[in-house]
Structure formats: structure tokens, C-alpha cells
Amino acid sequence: MSLETVVTRAWGRQALWLWLLLPVSWLYGLLITLRQLLYKTGLLLSYRAPIPVMVIGNITVGGSGKTPLIISLVEYLQQQGISVGVISRGYGGDSAQMPALVTKNSAPSMVGDEPSLIVNMTNVPMAVCPNRKQAIEILLQAHPYLQLIIADDGLQHYALQRDIEWIVVDVSRGFGSKQLLPTGFLREPMSRLNDATVIYHKKPEQVSSEDKLGSKQLTMHLRPDILYHLWSNSNVSQNSAPTASSQVHAVSGIGYPQRFFNTLTDLGFEVIEHAYPDHYDFSLNELIQYTEHPIIVTSKDAVKIRALFLQSETHQAQTIEWQALASRVWVLPVTAVLSESCYHTLNEQLKILGILFDNK
């Protein structure tokens, strides 16, 4: 078990030993406050893009549903006639090859798993680089017509100025001990929520009950879609997909794997949990060990695992074990469903920036 997994589980159960790290958290808090002050006073320079920038992130370590939210927003903006692009740090990719444009043919090992997923789902113009200024420059050089840039997970990247900030809060997970790293899993203090638009990620039943009460809170929930087979070349029929009450291996390398496991359980599956660190680089040999039952993975993990199958098919013979594995890996996609108040808020924010929808 990796150190990351150990600490993540300790945060989840609020282990008492974490409080021994409180002096480190105080030092961390002092450093982030000093860093913010340096940018605010101009002692550290920040970059202003030539077009509006919308940053979507969170103040916690681990997944909050940010990537599905970005995909849904991009699809919505495209439908409204807005020319939108996306930038990302490209975590998990090869930073030596960045800045780089992301295409549907880009390898996750080069550009990162989340950028690969976003582009494959939306075909949005996208660039990756730890230096967001360079990412924006290469993106606008290739797509000068863009009206808006969405920055994926750049909330703490104060070197980039932004016009809109959306912070995603996973209500089910909460804020744990409400302490900064490493005692808790907060990247920034909770007071940071006061300066941004907050999107509350809730369970579908929570959102439905609040809608009946006329809540105006900005909310989203993740809707699981239909399972699909990862490797179409294996000639597996969709009718053979695992069904409710089936026992399955749930394999996840996302920031908050428990949400994925809970979703499968809610769908009726008997889940055997296999949690890996966020952005984990799987190998086919690791997955082959999960025999007897179907394997279900997230869309984010699927882009990397599919790349492994492609590489394996190209460079080596398909063994019986390889074929058996290919036949039992399934993907559970999810869609971020936003409340109407989210879209209303977005429309108003874009109108202030002079970005108007094409009503044709």
C-alpha cells in the first residue's frame, strides 16, 4: 500500500495520529498566506490572458467531480455557440514535452489522463503545461478564435489571473477535520470559499429533495450512465455486461475512489474494492490478477488502460490471459448534471465579460 493511500485513508477516518502533524500544517498555512500576499502586492508577477479565463478547482486534495463538471460545461458552451478552450497542468504526462496541444490521438502518458478524457469526450481545443501562460499561448496560437478559456484545476495557480472562479465542494466527503495539509486534506482554508462561486456536489436524492423546497444553491450530481466494454476488438457483446447483483472487481485510480465504489454499490453490484493512488499508471499484469469476475473502471482510468491494450496489441502477441482480460474490462461513465441555477449564474458571469450566446 502506497504512502498516499495510507494518508488518504487516515484523512477519511480522521486518525488521531494526524494531529501530530499540526505544526507542519501551521507552517503550510503561513506559506500559502505569504504567497497570496506576494501576488496581491505584485511582488510576484501574474499573467493576464488576452481573453477571459474561468478557473475550476477545489480546496481539497482528491477528487470532487471537477472533470465531469468541466466536460458538461464545455458541451453546454459548445451548444450555445461559444468558442471555448481548455488548459491543464497535464498531471501524469511528460512535462518535458510541454507545452503541448491535446488531440484524440494524444497518449495519456504524454498529456495526462484527465486531458485525454476531456478531449475524447468533447473534442475541445486543449493545451497542457505546468506553466499555464505557455499553455494559453500555444492554445491561442492554434485556435485564435477562442472566446473563453477554462483552466482545469488551477485554483491555487495564482500566477494566472482569472475572471471567474468555480470551486467544487463534495458535500458527501465534506472537509474532514477542516485542517490544512497534512493534518487534514485542505489545500487552502475554508475562508477561500468566500471569494468564489461554489458548486456543491451532492447525491442525486439530496438535489431532488432540495429542488422541491425551491433551493437556489448551485448544485451538481453525477449520474451513472450505461456500462460499455473497454476493448471493442474483443468481440464481447454488450448483452454480456455485468448486471445488478453481480460480483465485480472495482478498480480505481482517482482522487476519491470511495465515491466510485459507492456508486457501483448503489447500482446493486457486489463490489470488490481495489483503490490505487490518483493518476496511477496501471499495467496489464496488475489487472490480469483480478480474475473470475468482471472488472469495472472509471472513464478516467479507462483512457490509460485502453492505451495499454493498444500498445500491447501492436508490439506483442495476444496471449490467452491478455484476451481473457480484454473480455472482462468494463467502463462506468458518469455525467455531471448541473442545477438550472448553475447555468443561470454562468450566463450572467459571461454576460458581464461580454460573451454572448449565439441564439441562432
- Across the range 138-148, mean pLDDT stands at 98
Judge whether 148 and 38 are in contact, CB under 8 Å: no
pTM: 0.93
pLDDT for the residue 7: 85
pLDDT tens sequence across 149-185: 999 988 999 999 999 999 999 998 899 999 999 999 9
pLDDT tens sequence across 39-66: 999 999 999 999 999 999 999 998 889 9
- Across the range 6-20, mean pLDDT stands at 90
**Kind of pairing, strands 334-338 and 219-224?**
antiparallel
pLDDT for the residue 8: 84
pLDDT for the residue 360: 44
- Residue 107 backbone dihedrals phi, psi, to 5 degrees: -80, 135
pLDDT tens sequence across 211-269: 655 667 899 999 999 999 998 765 666 668 898 889 999 999 998 899 999 999 999 99
Give CA–CA dist 150/55, Å, rounded. Answer: 6
Type of residue numbered 202: K
Give CA–CA dist 345/22, Å, rounded. Answer: 38
Mean pLDDT of the chain: 91
DSSP state of 177: T
What beta strand segments (E) does 212-333 contain? 219-224, 228-229, 247-252, 270-275, 295-298, 329-332
Sign of CA dihedral 171, 148, 151, 53: negative
